[in-house]
Structures are given as structure tokens and as C-alpha cells.
Copies of this chain bind each other. A is one copy, B any other.
Amino acid sequence: MPLDFESIYAAGKFTDLRIPRPRRAKYDFAVAYADPGSLPHADIVESLEEALTEYGSELAIYTHLQGNTKLREYLVERLLNNRDINVTVDDIILGNGSAETIDMICDILLDPNDVVLTDQWVYGGTLKTLKKKFVDIRGIESDEEGMIPELLEYEIKKAIDQDNKPKLLYLIPTFQNPQGFTITLARRKEILKITNKYGIPILEDDCYADNRYEGNQVTSFFNLDSEDSVIYVGSFSKIIGPGMALGYMTAPSTVLDKIMGVKRGRISDFTAMAVERYANKFLDTHIVKINHIQKMRRDAMVSALGENFGTSAKWSNPDGGLYIWVEFPKGTDVQALVIKSLDQINAGFHPGTDYSPDPSKGHNFMRLCYGYNDTEDISVGISKLAEFLSKEEII
């Protein structure tokens, strides 16, 4: 008789989750992928060989539990130069993408039913992670400057009145996924004033900060905060490629201590060595190159939307990042069309429901990613998508 594992699992709540890789389309506007043609294979291999020659014997030993030290040294400099973040090598922990770091942060902070504040539309990966913790996720509306401070304070007070003070405010302040806005400096200060007043930490997910191709950089929440209340995560997925699965975090010291208590296993030093040397030699130039490509693709998609989507839909036009957020008329439902679109026109998109803490919302929204396809495929794909949506009476 097979052993009955169900009777011996730990008491905590779990989500069973073994799912196939998502189906991919020719016009792949769904998952946030990078441009495959810009992957710097040759430079990365060259960098790896250089790193192996210099300190490759270290592959015979167990790396630092927080991850490759040279890469963390590089990040110390990068964070200071680009995000005004002043930390030491001991303050940085590498992760399997930013996903691992966000999951660990949730694990040390959140119990089931805790209140977590997010944007009204939230990055789907973090949303899944939060749902796996069975927390009470409350989305807050934003305008073009970011989350609206009055609504933030209202939600905090409401939760406190319910004797359930929010445990965390999760933000992607720069090129918010999926909406695309960047929170202005003034708005960042207003938000911080409120979270500091109530003693609520911010999780700043900054994985798109380098993907800016217009406008000026806004400094990080981590820099603006004077009360050690911001936990910061970043990633190489959007500036090298998701396949490196390399992210990082920094936070107040007590948080880092706790994080290392829940961290499982080490990050590949083989990947970290390649990325360390590549980043030191090539990354800044590479970012200029991919931002140029992404800008062209954004322009192609915005222009294709203008030509094909008519006046019943509205969409964002972001200064960076990888996404356009499309709103269709109230009452329409694009979630129901995901598979049909793959089948009929070979085009993929994410429905707004993937980004909504409230499962009843988001049916009339769509996220389009312009990172993967070239401008020609973007034009053709958006035109096909428009025709398809029109036939389905969405637009």
C-alpha cells in the first residue's frame, strides 16, 4: 500500500503547484522575455573563461552562503552609482532571480491573514507568492505619479481599525509592472512619510530601473528612507537574461540575519563568476544597446496599437520597462480569450486578472510585453490581435 503522505505533511497551508511551462506563441506578448538576438553569448563565455582562469579553482569549494563575493562587491558599486544605495558587501545576498529573495522576505514577515498592501495591479509573480502565503492582499489605486498617498493612508487606517496593521507595502516604483508608471520623487517622499508614520516596511522591487530609455532616473526608496524600513531587491534577468536566474537583495541588518536563516542552498558560483566578470566589463554598454532596441519596440507597439486598436481601448506609453497596459471597455473579458488567441492567431498576452489581488477584477485589462519580438513581428502581431479582438467584439 502506498504511503499516505497526505496524513503526514506539515501543519502549514500549502499550494500544490506542479505546472507545465506556459505555451508560447509566435507573437509572444505574454511573459516578460528578453530579446533573444541580443543575448551576449560570446561576451559571457569570454567573461566566464577569464573568471575561471583567475579564480576558477574556487568551484572546488563551497561559495559564500550569501553568494559570490566578487559579484557582491560589484553590486555594492553598482547600487551606489545607479541607485544611491550605500551598503557593504556583507549587506548583499544573492538569490535565484529576485523571485527567491521576494519569497524569503515574505516567509520571514508574513503569517496567513496578514495584510499586505500593493498596487491595484500587481506583478503576477509576487501576487502568486503572496497568495501562497495566504495573506490578505489589498490593492491601492494610482495615478500617473504612482500610488495615491491618501488612498494608501486610508487603507492603512482601515486595516489598523480591523486590528490587522499592514505588514508590508510592496512596490515596483520604477516602471511598475504591469502599469508602467514611475513614482515621482515627491510622491516617493509622501509615501515614505506615511509608511514611516505607521511603522510599515516597504519592499522595493527595482528590477526595471536600468531599463530606462527616456526621462531621468528617480532615486530609490531605499536611499530616501531614513528609518531603515526599506527592503530592496534587484535582478539581472531584465539586463542580461532570465536564464541566468540571478537576483539580489539588501535590507536592514536584522532582516538579512533572518533571511539567511531561511535561505536554502547556494547560488551557482559558475553563473555568478560569469556574470561578475561580464558585468564589470560589458554590462553598461550592453544596457545602452538593449534599451535602444526596447525603445524601438515600444514605439512599434504603441504605433501599432494606435493604428489598429481604435478609440475604445486605452493604453500606457512607458519611459522604460517592458510592458504596455491596455484597458478595454468595462464589461469586456479578455481572460476568456487567452487560449483562443494562441490557437487562432498565435499571439500570447496576459489578461489583467493575472495582476489583480481581487480575482473578480481585471477582465477588461491586458498586459502586452514588447521585449521578445522584433518590430516587424510586433506590428504584424498587434494587427492580428486587433482583428481578433474586433471579431470577439472587445474593440
Query: Measuring CB to CB, which residues of chain A are less than 8 angstroms from any residue of chain B?
Result: 1-6, 8-12, 14-19, 21, 24, 31, 33-37, 39, 41, 44-45, 48-49, 52, 56-66, 90, 95-97, 99-101, 103-104, 107-111, 114, 132, 167, 196, 199, 201, 227-229, 241-247, 252, 254-258, 260-271, 273-274, 372
Q: Judging by beta carbons under 8 Å apart, are B18 and A59 in contact? A: no
Q: Judging by beta carbons under 8 Å apart, are A17 and B96 in contact? A: no
Chain B contacts for A66, CB-based, 8 A? 18
Q: Judging by beta carbons under 8 Å apart, are A3 and B100 in contact? A: no
**Of the candidates B34, B107, B227, B245, which one forms a contact with A266 in the assembled complex, judged by CB atoms under 8 Å apart?**
B245
**Of the candidates B6, B57, B99, B254, which one forms a contact with A264 in the assembled complex, judged by CB atoms under 8 Å apart?**
B99
Q: Report how far A257 CA is from B66 CA in the complex, Å.
A: 28
Chain B: minimal CB distance from A156 (Å): 14
Q: Which residue of B lies closest to A270 (CB)?
A: B271
Q: Report how far A1 CA is from B3 CA in the complex, Å.
A: 53
Q: Judging by beta carbons under 8 Å apart, are A45 and B34 in contact? A: no
Q: Report how far A39 CA is from B57 CA in the complex, Å.
A: 7
Chain B: minimal CB distance from A90 (Å): 8
**Of the candidates B16, B108, B274, which one forms a contact with A258 in the assembled complex, judged by CB atoms under 8 Å apart?**
B16
Q: Which residue of B lies closest to A1 (CB)?
A: B227
Q: Report how far A196 CA is from B167 CA in the complex, Å.
A: 44
Q: Which residue of B lies closest to A53 (CB)?
A: B41
Q: Which residue of B lies closest to A253 (CB)?
A: B18
Can you list 10 A-B pairs with a CB-CB distance of less than 8 A? A10-B109, A16-B257, A31-B61, A34-B60, A39-B60, A44-B270, A60-B241, A242-B266, A243-B270, A270-B271
Q: Judging by beta carbons under 8 Å apart, are A265 and B99 in contact? A: yes
Q: Do A58 and B243 form a contact, CB below 8 Å, given A1-B227, A100-B264?
A: yes
Chain B contacts for A100, CB-based, 8 A? 264-265
Chain B contacts for A109, CB-based, 8 A? 8-10
Q: Judging by beta carbons under 8 Å apart, are A3 and B199 in contact? A: yes
Q: Judging by beta carbons under 8 Å apart, are B201 and A8 in contact? A: yes
**Of the candidates B2, B9, B108, B111, which one forms a contact with A252 in the assembled complex, judged by CB atoms under 8 Å apart?**
B2
Q: Do A258 and B8 form a contact, CB below 8 Å, given A33-B61, A241-B60?
A: no
Q: Judging by beta carbons under 8 Å apart, are A266 and B9 in contact? A: no
Q: Do A243 and B261 form a contact, CB below 8 Å, given A8-B109, A108-B14?
A: no
Q: Report how far A199 CA is from B2 CA in the complex, Å.
A: 9
Chain B contacts for A264, CB-based, 8 A? 95-96, 99-100, 103-104, 264
In the complex, which of the residues A246, A247, A252, A270 has the most CB atoms of chain B within 10 Å of its own CB atom? A270
Chain B contacts for A3, CB-based, 8 A? 196, 199, 201, 227-229, 252
Chain B contacts for A111, CB-based, 8 A? 10-12
